[in-house]
Each structure stands twice: as C-alpha cells, then as structure tokens.
Amino acid sequence: MIGIIDYKAGNGPSVLSAVTHLGYKAELVSMPERLLEMTHIIMPGVGSAGATMKSLEELGLIKAIKKAVLDDKVPFLGVCVGMQILFDYSEEEDTECLGFLPGRVVSFNRKNVRVPQMGWNKVYFSKNTGYEAADGYFYFVNSYYAVPDDKSLVWGIAEYDGWFTAAVSKDNIFGTQFHIEKSGEAGLKLLKGFLSTEGRRM
C-alpha cells in the first residue's frame, strides 16, 4: 500500500489520483501508526515550509516519518515543499526542517526573476537512481529551492535565475521540486519509477 501523507495543507488528493491512475493501491494517511505500515511514502507539497512542519508536528507524524525513512528504509518521495523539508533549514519562515539531507532552502532573487516560478521548465537528470529518469519538461510552482551541501545528492537541475536543484536522491530518499502529479506523461513516468522501487516487505 502506498501512503500519501495527509497533513491538511498539501495536495494529497491530486497525488492519490495520479498513483491510482498508475494502478497502485494508495491511501491518504494522517495517523503515525498507519504510516508505519506503508510500503512507500509520498509527501505532497503545497504551502509553506513553516506551516508544513507545524502540521506534521501537530499530527504526531515527524517521529513516524523519521522511523520509516531512516530506520526502516521505506522509499520516500517528497514533492515541492515535501522535498524542501528534507533539508536542515529553510529561509521560508525561518524553519528548522527534517534534516534528512544536509543543506538549506533559499529564495530566488526577486530582483532578477518573477517569483514564484510558475509553469513548465526543462529538467536535466544527472545521476542513476536505479530507474529511468529522462530529461523533459515538468511543472513548477516555487519561490524557494534547495541548495544541498553534498552535490552528489543532486539528481536533476533546471534553470531559473541560474541553475538550481530540481530533484534530489539518496538511497531510499527522493525529492522533486516540480509537481509530478501536474507534469503529464513525464511526471507519471517518473512517479511510476519511484513506485516500482522495492518497498517495505509486508
């Protein structure tokens, strides 16, 4: 069963629809004990880093997420803000995040480009994560982007006010700054790759 974290601020239903469209069983999850029963976990993203972390804390999900991802090695995909909170810190609302990946999240320079970035942008994938990830156009809505301390975490890049990190991966942890569920066939193909990775054995 694929667990999509329902933290009352994200776009969980849209991600759920995309996953079930691909033929997988999935459900929205907001209870820690249920989250620990999932074979794969997706953290959808809409909203701010601060509000997202606050919602996760109020629901008691942070400890369960850490156990599932760090201890049990359950495949985890963070989308948009769901990717940003994988890092140590976000400038958005001065937020301490999950700290799964070393680095910080910073704002685009509003003097140089329109913020938020909104629309289609080409992503170039740069590392093998165990499944096919083809370069292509994906849909973004973001004012902030991640700056990993370890460049080997960078899975994909795109250009907006210079090159920025569009996707990351490390072991069982994946993140996309773009919205896979809004990115047409390219997004569905990438999502299917994640769901095809070996998950927790039930």
**What are the tens digits of pLDDT across the range 139-158?**
999 999 999 999 999 999 99
At residue 108, what are phi and psi to the nearest 5 degrees?
A: -60, 150
Separation in Å, CA 18 to CA 11, 88, 93, 114, 131:
11, 29, 30, 29, 19
Q: Is residue 138 part of a domain?
A: yes
pLDDT in tens, 56-72: 999 999 999 999 999 99
Q: Is residue 202 part of a domain?
A: no
Q: Is residue 34 part of a domain?
A: yes
Domain that holds residue 147: 2-195
Instruction: Exactly one of 40, 80, 92, 97 is catalytic; name it.
Output: 80
Domain total in the chain: 1
21 is catalytic: no
User: CATH no. for residue 88?
Assistant: 3.40.50.880
Percent of the chain with pLDDT over 70: 97
Q: Is residue 166 part of a domain?
A: yes
37 is catalytic: no
Instruction: Exactly one of 21, 132, 181, 185 is catalytic; name it.
Output: 181
Q: Is residue 200 part of a domain?
A: no
Tokens of 78: 């963070």
The pLDDT assigned to 202 comes to 47
Q: How confident is the model at residue 161 (pLDDT cuts 50, 70, 90)?
A: very high
The pLDDT assigned to 10 comes to 65
Q: Cα angle vertex 51, ends 171, 27, to 5°?
A: 55
Please, are residues 83 and 158 in contact by the beta-carbon 8 Å criterion?
no
Q: How confident is the model at residue 120 (pLDDT cuts 50, 70, 90)?
A: very high
181 is catalytic: yes
Q: Is residue 201 part of a domain?
A: no
The pLDDT assigned to 9 comes to 67
Q: How confident is the model at residue 19 (pLDDT cuts 50, 70, 90)?
A: very high
Question: How many residues can be counted in the chain?
Answer: 202
